[in-house]
Amino acid sequence: MRRRGRCSPGAARDLLAAGRTLRASVSASERGPVGGLSKRERSVGELLLDGLTQREIGARLRQKLAASNRAEFVACLWDKVARRWPEGRGLSMFANALAVCDTR
């Protein structure tokens, strides 16, 4: 049974290749703002266009923080990122970010 919202591996490869070709043909200044995304958010989007999965992006982050497991990853992120957020914003935004970077 085919799941909704999924495409075949061949179609996914073709779509990613088309995205890479399009991105390479347009300079960064011509691209302009992407729906209000920050520079860092656009960087993550580019990783997705390069074919990385959310899991692979999360694994890269975990590796850069030298975390050997999810608990260490969370502790490192909390120490380096979330403590700097304004009060009341940290926990919910942090939980949402971890859902995207699930590296289990």
pLDDT tens, residue by residue, 40-72? 888 888 999 899 998 899 889 889 888 888 888
58 close to 69: Cβ distance less than 8 angstroms: no
Instruction: Say yes or no: 32 and 61 in one domain.
Output: no
78 close to 94: Cβ distance less than 8 angstroms: yes
Q: Is residue 1 part of a domain?
A: no
Cα–Cα dist 77/71, whole Å: 10
Q: Is residue 2 part of a domain?
A: no
Instruction: Say yes or no: 45 and 92 in one domain.
Output: no
Number of domains the chain is built from: 2
Alpha-carbon distances of 99 from 5, 25, 38, rounded to whole Å: 19, 33, 19
**Which of 16, 33, 52 corresponds to the end of one domain?**
52
Domain that holds residue 40: 7-52
pTM over the 0.75 mark = no
